[in-house]
Amino acid sequence: MKASVPDLMETLKLAARRIDRLGRNSLRSLLVVSEIALSLVALVGAGLFIRSMRDAQRIDPGFESKNLL
């Protein structure tokens, strides 16, 4: 008769462990995706900054900028 009665406490503990593992894995995945997204944003920003600096050096300032001293 005892074999037909499930151990509810053990079943609940196992279910809680599974949910806890899933929560950690999804949180870890979310952190990895956000780190990759922020890295991509930083790389694009750095590329645009370098391009802007290169373009700014090509612009004529309207005065002689060489041999000032």
Per-residue pLDDT of the chain (69 residues; tens, 9 = 90+): 555 666 777 877 777 777 767 667 788 888 999 999 999 999 999 999 999 999 998 888 788 877 777
- Give the side-chain half-sphere CA count within 13 A for 26: 6
Task: Tell how many helices (H) and how many strands (E) occur in the chain.
Answer: 1, 0
Residue 15 CA neighbour count, 13 Å, CB half: 6
The pTM assigned to this predicted structure is: 0.55
